[in-house]
Amino acid sequence: MTRLAGALSLEQQARVLTAATRRTGIFYDTGFDLHSRREFCSRYAREVLAEATGRTVGEVETFATLLARRPDANQTFWRAWYFGRIPWNRETVTPASLLRSEAMRLVCESGGRQRDASEIH
C-alpha cells in the first residue's frame, strides 16, 4: 500500500473529501478510458489527489504502451473483456503506475507475516 509522501494539511484533507464527494454517483468505466465521463479506481485516485493537493500521481499510458512494456503478457482475458478488440490507442492510468509514482511512498507490503493489534503502532 502506498500513500502520498508527506502529510496532508488540514486544508488538503478537507479538499480530498470535497473532491471525493463530488465524484459520488458517477458510473464505473469498465473500458478504463481516461477521457470518458465515467470513473474507474486509478483515475479516481489520480484526479482526487490532483484536485486536492495539486500533485499528479500515476502515468498516462496507452494499452499499446502497456503491451510494449510486457510483450509476453497473456492477452486472453483482455481480448475477452473487449470482445476481441483491445483498444490499443486508448489512454488510461493503471494502479501499477500509481504505485510506481515518485510522489507516493510505501507504507506496507502484502505477503508478510500477520501481525496482531498489539504490534501495530
Residue 22 lies in a domain: yes
Residue 115 lies in a domain: no
Nearest to 60 by CA among 31, 33, 86, 41: 33
Strand partners, 105: 3
Residue 118 lies in a domain: no
Q: How many domains, the chain?
A: 1
The pTM of the full predicted model, rounded to 2 decimals, is: 0.84
Could you tell me where the DSSP H helices lie in the chain?
10-22, 41-53, 63-69, 76-81, 95-100
**Segments forming the whole domain that contains residue 25:** 2-108
Count of residues making up the chain: 121
Distance CA 41, CA 100 (A): 16
Residue 119 lies in a domain: no
Residue 61 lies in a domain: yes
Give the CATH number of the domain where residue 66 resides. Answer: 3.90.1720.10
Residue 114 lies in a domain: no
- Confidence label for 56 from pLDDT (cuts 50, 70 and 90): very high
Compute the average pLDDT of residues 63-91: 96
Distance CA 22, CA 99 (A): 24
pLDDT greater than 50 at residue 29: yes
Residue 112 pLDDT: 59
Residue 117 lies in a domain: no
